[in-house]
Amino acid sequence: NADKAKNEAVFEGVKDIPRISELDWKNTKKFEEVSSQSRLHPLIEANDVIMICGAYFGDEGKGKTVDDVCRNPKIGMVVRVNSGENAGHTVFHEGKKFVFNLAPSGLLKGKVNLIGPECVIDPISFMEKELQQLIDAGIPYKENLFIGNAHIVTPYHKLLDFIQSAANSSTLKGMSPIHSSKVTKRGIRLDHIFNDKEICKKRLEKDMESYTAALKLRNLSEAELLKQCEAMNADGNIRMPLHVLNFVKAADKVQYMMDMYEQRVVKNPAFPNRRDVTYAIRDTLSKGQKVLLEGPQSYWLSNASEKFWESSTSADTSAHGLLATSRFNPQKYKTLVINIHKTPASSRVGIGASPSSYIAQDYFSRQSIQTLNDLPAGACTDFDAIQKAFVSSIQPNGVVKPTVYKDGTGEYGIGVAMAISSALHHGECGATTKKPRIVGFFDCVAHFEVNEAQGPYLSISALDRGDDYDKVGITIAYVYYSTQGLVAESNGRVYKNCDIIKAGDPLPTEQILTNCHPIVMLFDGWRDSPIYNKKRQPGTPLPKGCQDVIGAIEHFTGAEVISIGNGPNADNFIYLKKVGGTQEAEEVAANFPNADKAKNEAVFEGVKDIPRISELDWKNTKKFEEVSSQSRLHPLIEANDVIMICGAYFGDEGKGKTVDDVCRNPKIGMVVRVNSGENAGHTVFHEGKKFVFNLAPSGLLKGKVNLIGPECVIDPISFMEKELQQLIDAGIPYKENLFIGNAHIVTPYHKLLDFIQSAANSSTLKGMSPIHSSKVTKRGIRLDHIFNDKEICKKRLEKDMESYTAALKLRNLSEAELLKQCEAMNADGNIRMPLHVLNFVKAADKVQYMMDMYEQRVVKNPAFPNRRDVTYAIRDTLSKGQKVLLEGPQSYWLSNASEKFWESSTSADTSAHGLLATSRFNPQKYKTLVINIHKTPASSRVGIGASPSSYIAQDYFSRQSIQTLNDLPAGACTDFDAIQKAFVSSIQPNGVVKPTVYKDGTGEYGIGVAMAISSALHHGECGATTKKPRIVGFFDCVAHFEVNEAQGPYLSISALDRGDDYDKVGITIAYVYYSTQGLVAESNGRVYKNCDIIKAGDPLPTEQILTNCHPIVMLFDGWRDSPIYNKKRQPGTPLPKGCQDVIGAIEHFTGAEVISIGNGPNADNFIYLKKVGGTQEAEEVAANFPNADKAKN
């Protein structure tokens, strides 16, 4: 009874709270049993993608529903799209038990099974633990199990997990460290071990720095580490595998890993075949088959779960995360989410808050109860007596009185007794370790949000447990009570003792939830009418108590219960329908001028004779004419609820113009930035003044409600100094229309880590990789932390700052030298490292410096914006019939979830899928419109990485130390007209570019270099302050085909008026692979050799292959004689033929539908289009197909 005093103090404080009226609700719903064919299968039939998702904290019994759904013959593919071996399920096949962690359940059911590129995999453990079972049983799998370009969990990731994790907070499967490598783009993926070994070795050496630093920081020798790991395994439960222990012993650790992966993966004939998984998903769907996405963990364990983030896993394991990582177009294909929950004795594992549990979530670990064997023999075994006593302790107002239960082994707090007894009685403990799970009531308060975000369909597993209870309780509200009298704040709402939080209220974050206690509603059990499958005849009416529990869960959460579990096996389900009710199937430098001359000539020599592909002979027959935005853009807005403006290339596409135009629609009630940070941005003009925003949404100056969501990362000091100070200086109020959610805080050490760890020119130095590493490892702070308990905040900062200290130690870098380097960066007046960051370096007590800074400049700053629960506000706005505009940062290909360009991506998922995932509305209920934004001529990208359609290699300028245009010879490549003519002339009949030379008074330039420089000058494709040139090139139809398939067809091409200045406008319609070293490369199981062609519609290879891909270009006439630039063109003037041909070709090769083209820099400089004589549909997707026009009708 360790928490006796605390529990009694809580009870004394809440015992007299008034009984809430919800406790008087009476069930009037009735349910009867129906077949799965009439209840489950119509839902499957009405949808394309079925997601089985955990609705609580994992261990809900998802596997049973996965098995049942797999029986539908139209399920052609079962996919795990994210997370790793910390999830798992048991499958029975022909009487044998198989335990899988990553392998999908459909593996034994004749389905195609895939493991996607956003999964994290230890391929050694995967072979030893999962696939060896199949090999031993003689079950073939090579024809129905395929693996994508997954991230590799190395031995050092698992060791880092052990070194860095608090007791009982991790599965020790390397999840936090591998996801840190993922978001910082420092690890390796499967493609790396199948290709260039030197590249792979270098990446391992770089990524392994974190392991070395962690040892140095703790003065921990590898001998001691090995000793600790071996001790963990001493009981026979192998927590640290042999290949990890051997890594610790290895002298050359990188070579050890290289050899291990070569022998046990690359050359292992038993390792599964590889495949481009997201392509396969889209291909399967296009053929009319259905795809089952098997969800790991749960909604609340998702790293994108703001409310329980501190105790979450490192992947987004919600339905939104599954959708985001599967990369199909959710506007085109209909989705069904079946949420899985468990009751009685809903359980969770690990650390964190759990308001509905019988005891505190950390109770057993605090008392050093690691297994049930640590309890006195025979403790709390009389479940019947204990459940009776526990029920009796629940007061009329729903609070639990902390009574005592006695047996021969001692006196137990009633919650402790119920927790122990339930773990024993229901088997709620680890099968091998016997470590008990913490159990409790079904939580209607938490499930209300799950229902709103993931949809209504709910399967309650294990409801047959109610057979053993006199009364079954569910949590319908929480009461907040802190024994220290703490007044706490979450997302702007203040919580004080005895405040009630009901189902439907915004859920506070974990720091508040730790002090929340359940208000319980009781229902009769059904001991006399058991529903357990072995005791019940099919068709027997469900007992009243069972119906009341189901009815109450539906009433308080809005769910629709489709089935209940009544036994452990896959077919132990009772499917339900409401009697007399209705059921809907779905709601649903020196050598700079020509540095790459030799390489370019070698490539050209290799590809110059490739046959001309037939696609180059395509002729445009489409015609387009100008229409008003009212007839083209606004019907699309009217037909949808959520509008997403998304970059379709590598950022800088001109998204802001479209955002501004959409904002003019009066039904747009809210503009939201839902992820990423100040590394994105846009310029807004208001009353003749220019405002530069990074995080603040564009709608800020347009009378809209603007929000910055909880998955954004924010340096609140820079935000105030750079963004909001502009508004303050201009006298523009913002406190009533700008609200910030519980965003992750970018601290000074995150920005310093970004500088210390990043390669030159690879980062914006805004702290993006480090803060996202803190995010996925749950080690940083969020806004809520600085508004609440200061000691907790300080401890979190101290812990998270270890990475900064370790980075300095690893490099033997003093803070004096670091400060000197940072100040040198700022010497040119371009402030790359802000003053508050420099002052952090100087501070003696860095944690106190940050605490004081945040207290004075955020918490007590009246100019800091008001706070709000953003995802709740989004759902609330949508429920009132208003529309929400999600403003996308960066782009599809810069997304961290972009497998193909991952090594050069940002750290957030900035695709439409990422926006959807982090906005937390129900995409089955609300219709979404994605408008993709691309730019041409002179499509651009920044940073490092592959760019097959660019005029020069993406790293060309940085390799030649060209940091700004001032580093070029004065007057270099200024004759744009002559250069574009020469460049066009270099394109051969087969579409490849001949590396000719352009001469001017400053030197001789490779034609691509000349075109790149001249374009940057002519089109302003360089940083406004730094003048750092962007790398530009052709519109890339090969890359855009995937964007179109994943995000939908609607496309706005900004800056097409640039074609006014060209004799010919080129677009890339295919790539040719050519390596001057003759490298044969592999990506997702497909082999690429010299002169292979990759066309639009083919699976796109990954960046290591794309670096050796070169454009095949199709040319169209420019329109110099018929300019479309807004100041030179009369509205309504027919579009010139060349312009129409370019648009037609982009549509033809990508499948896009071009709705507008930009013809000037301002927000209203658009030409909206329709096809002459064609049809335009405002929306092709009807998410709630069965009754899509209900409201209108």
Q: Treating both helix axes as pointing N-terminal to C-terminal, what angle do 748-757 and 815-825 enclose, rounded to 10 degrees?
A: 90
Range list of β-strands (E), 74-135: 75-83, 89-93, 96-100, 112-121
CA distance linking residue 1180 with residue 639, whole number of Å: 10
Cβ burial, residue 500 (10 Å; 0-12/13-18/19+)? middle
Length of the chain, in residues: 1193
Instruction: Enumerate residues 6+ apart whose C-beta is below 8 A from 762.
Output: 904, 943, 944
Closest by Cα among 1053, 965, 967 to 1014:
965
Cβ burial, residue 988 (10 Å; 0-12/13-18/19+)? middle
Q: Residue 1177 has which token pair?
A: 């549909």
CA distance linking residue 48 with residue 168, whole number of Å: 39
Sign of the dihedral defined by the CA atoms of residues 415, 420, 424, 428, in that order: positive
Q: Residue 818 has which token pair?
A: 């670091």
**Is 192 a catalytic site residue?**
no
Q: Residue 1019 has which token pair?
A: 């089109």
Question: Which candidate in 634, 682, 750, 785 is catalytic?
Answer: 682
The b/e string for 237-274 (b: 16+ C-beta within 10 A; e otherwise) is eebbbebbbebbebeebbebbbebbeebbbeeeebbeb
Question: Which candidate in 443, 464, 467, 652 is catalytic?
Answer: 652
Instruction: Enumerate residues 6+ apart whose C-beta is below 8 A from 310.
Output: 352, 510, 778
Neighbour count for residue 642 (Cβ, 10 Å):
23
How remote is the C-alpha of 829 from its chain's centroid?
36
Q: What are phi and psi of 80, to 5 degrees?
A: -100, 120
For every residue of 899-937, which 3-state class applies, written as one string? HHHHHHCCCCCCCHHHHHHHHCCCCCCCCEEEEEEEECC
The C-alpha R_g of the chain, in whole angstroms, comes to: 30
Q: Residue 348 has which token pair?
A: 């969770």
At residue 758, the 3 state secondary structure works out as: coil
How far is residue 1061 from each of residues 568, 980, 1052, 1117, 1158, measured CA to CA in Å?
A: 70, 9, 20, 11, 15
**Is 652 a catalytic site residue?**
yes
For every residue of 24-68, which 3-state class applies, written as one string? HCCCCCCEEEECHHHHHHHHHHCCCEEEEEECCECCCCHHHHHHH
Closest by Cα among 821, 756, 817 to 210:
756
CA distance linking residue 803 with residue 749, whole number of Å: 9
CA distance linking residue 1032 with residue 953, whole number of Å: 10
Neighbour count for residue 1097 (Cβ, 10 Å):
17
DSSP one-letter string for 629-665? HHHHHHHHHHT-SEEEEEESSBS-S-HHHHHHHHHTS
Angle at 507 between CA 793 and CA 436, to 5 degrees: 75
Angle at 1122 between CA 1118 and CA 1126, to 5 degrees: 105
Amino acid residing at 198: E
Catalytic residue set: 652, 682
